[in-house]
A = this chain, B = another copy of it.
Amino acid sequence: MSLFEKYQSILENAIKALHERSFFAQYPEHPSPKIYGETADEDGRKKFQSMVGSKFEELLQLDPENWIGTEESPYMQDRLNISYPSFSVEELINRGREGFHQWRKVSPEERAGILIESLERMKVRFFELAYATMHTTGQGYMMAFQASGPHANDRALEAIAFGFEELKRFPESVIWDKPMGKFNIKLDKSWRAVPKGIGVVIGCSTFPTWNSVPGLYANLITGNAVIVKPHPGAVLPIAMVVAEIQKVLDENGYSANICQLAVDSHDKMITKELAEHPEVKLIDYTGNSVFGSYLEGLTGKAVFTEKTGVNSVILDSVENIDKVAQNLAFSVTLYSGQMCTAPQNFYIPESGIKTPEGNISFDDFAQKFVDNINGLIDNPKAGPFVLGAIQNKNTCDRVEKSEAAGGKIWLKSRSIENPMFKNARIATPLVIEIDGSNKEEFSQELFGPITLLIKTKNTDYSIELAKDMAINHGAISCGAYTTDPVIKEKIADEMSLAATPVSFNLVGGIYLNQHAGFSDFHVTGGNPAGNASFTNPEYVIKRFTWVGFREPVSS
């Protein structure tokens, strides 16, 4: 049985799910021993520990020029001392070219089988991957498991499914039979989906697999070779993914050069040299806007970016203010605001928020919100695990700077103790009040645990500000609370023009930070937060070119 036959039903279900957009998950998100095995967690932790201080020797990339690695655990604030093979850009490109010319001739079915097999192999390493993610990104255990493991795998499968569908969208060949009156002109026509060449996937430090696998798998399903350039601070999780892909390729007779890892270090970054190389035709990037916009400006390449933005919450009217405050407190605390979808700017009318019991004032809401944050972070069974650790100490500096910048401080950022990691780099959410007229104070992304409560004239002005931020500075998510259908439609309409998805009236166990595979399009491509959306059709079709051939039917 071929790998395609083995996984055909997974692929078909995934393609169906793409169109249904209702709940679908191939990989269970709960780290349950019943699903993953009684010893899976313990085994994974030990495997991760055995990697610390060692060479990562799983990659099938022979003859490295060097072994390098600079990762540090945000939980231990100490080096992991894991080293990876490194190569010059020219060598990576030479190998990638070789891989490309082999891979481009492989059928979509064969590619899909190999790629799904690699996901199945990752599945048995989800716990190991979770620990690797915790100790590079600072994510809490649960998020590290879910985001890097099952959710990333689902996003990868989504890209495979969409790519496969697009590759099969037109017939491979037809007879074109045109009546000309007394005779017909008949042509044999055929089409090939020609991949673009070598793609570079540039990873970020906070979601090293979740943000990188959609582009990686989208490139591979459409026949391109890939060079994965991880963030020097978060290599291990994606190195494991690349290693599994290489092993499956190799076992099936294909070159590991089809998917390479390109590790660099902060003092000698190779990203620009890679991106600018004329043979690199595709770039996927997650990270800061300055570098993202530079990449988007490169000519002769298809570039897919997820950059930064200013995410808003519009508060107009609610059913239950306590549930809202609780939900939003969790949203800003989760991974200390280090998610690209985390809300930052909260727009609250100066007259307060309407509730069935009458208006709740700006100050009363602010206090409720702060109380809920404190309740969460001071709960020793929740706080440390929801917060995780701060990936980059620059984020701590940004928090300090914001605290000193003026504005009424409703809640200072502080550190709390993580019972398992005494040295963890922790910063709890800072909450500041700003007046809506001081627009320059809230017109930028403040990455990390920084929340701005912005007092506006009224909800119309809140909407105007949220739209303005999205159009001019980008936005990936928006939360809105209103019980008024007219205002709701106005928010939906105005934010749609700013290409920002809106989560209305979320309370309970679902948060605006969460974008689900096979249902939510993550980033829309319509505002400065990014030019790509995974996984919409554009995300895959720009990775190949339809080329047609025709010839008179031989009589």
Q: A171-B20, A297-B299, A537-B166 are in contact. Are A524 and B546 (CB under 8 A)?
A: yes
- Cα distance A503–B533 in the bound complex, in angstroms: 36
Report if A536 contacts B (CB, 8 A). Answer: yes
Q: A169-B19, A185-B510, A536-B541 are in contact. Are A550 and B499 (CB under 8 A)?
A: no
Q: Smallest CB-CB separation from A519: which chain B residue?
A: B176
Q: A508-B552, A509-B185 are in contact. Are A22 and B177 (CB under 8 A)?
A: yes
A178 CB contacts on chain B under 8 angstroms: 23, 516
Decide: B541 and A510 in contact? CB cutoff 8 A. Answer: no
Q: Interface readout for A271-301 with B: 1 if CB under 8 Å, 0 if not? A: 0000000000000000000000000110100
A503 CB contacts on chain B under 8 angstroms: 549-551
Q: A509-B185, A510-B187, A538-B542 are in contact. Are A176 and B516 (CB under 8 A)?
A: yes
Decide: A496 and B192 in contact? CB cutoff 8 A. Answer: yes
Report if A525 contacts B (CB, 8 A). Answer: yes
Q: Smallest CB-CB separation from A527: which chain B residue?
A: B545
Q: A187-B510, A508-B185, A519-B189 are in contact. Are A547 and B495 (CB under 8 A)?
A: yes
Tallying the copies of this chain within the complex gives 2
Report if A548 contacts B (CB, 8 A). Answer: yes
Q: A174-B20, A299-B297 are in contact. Are A510 and B552 (CB under 8 A)?
A: yes
A179 CB, min distance to chain B CBs, angstroms: 8
Report if A353 contacts B (CB, 8 A). Answer: no
Q: Smallest CB-CB separation from A497: which chain B residue?
A: B194
Count chain A residues whose beta carbon lies closer than 8 angstroms to a beta carbon of B: 65
Interface positions of A from 497 to 511, Cβ below 8 Å from B = 497, 499-510
Contact of A501 among B166, B506, B548 (CB under 8 A): B548
Decide: B23 and A194 in contact? CB cutoff 8 A. Answer: no
Decide: B526 and A548 in contact? CB cutoff 8 A. Answer: no
A303 CB, min distance to chain B CBs, angstroms: 12
Decide: B492 and A549 in contact? CB cutoff 8 A. Answer: yes
Report if A421 contacts B (CB, 8 A). Answer: no
Report if A403 contacts B (CB, 8 A). Answer: no
Decide: B499 and A521 in contact? CB cutoff 8 A. Answer: no
Decide: A496 and B194 in contact? CB cutoff 8 A. Answer: yes
A22 CB, min distance to chain B CBs, angstroms: 5
- Cα distance A170–B520 in the bound complex, in angstroms: 12
A551 CB contacts on chain B under 8 angstroms: 503-506
A185 CB contacts on chain B under 8 angstroms: 508-510
A194 CB contacts on chain B under 8 angstroms: 496-497, 499, 526
- Cα distance A499–B281 in the bound complex, in angstroms: 13
Decide: B299 and A501 in contact? CB cutoff 8 A. Answer: no
Report if A175 contacts B (CB, 8 A). Answer: yes
User: A: which residues have CB within 8 A of B?
Assistant: 19-23, 30, 166, 169-171, 174-181, 185, 187, 189, 191-192, 194, 196, 296-297, 299, 492, 495-497, 499-510, 516, 519-521, 524-526, 533, 536-538, 541-542, 545-552
Known pairs A21-B191, A194-B499, A296-B299; list 16 more (Cβ under 8 Å).
A21-B176, A23-B176, A23-B179, A30-B181, A185-B508, A194-B497, A196-B526, A499-B545, A501-B547, A502-B549, A506-B551, A506-B552, A524-B547, A537-B541, A538-B542, A541-B541
- Pull 10 A–B residue pairs with CB atoms less than 8 Å apart, ordered by A: A19-B169, A23-B176, A30-B181, A192-B492, A194-B499, A496-B547, A501-B550, A502-B548, A502-B549, A505-B552
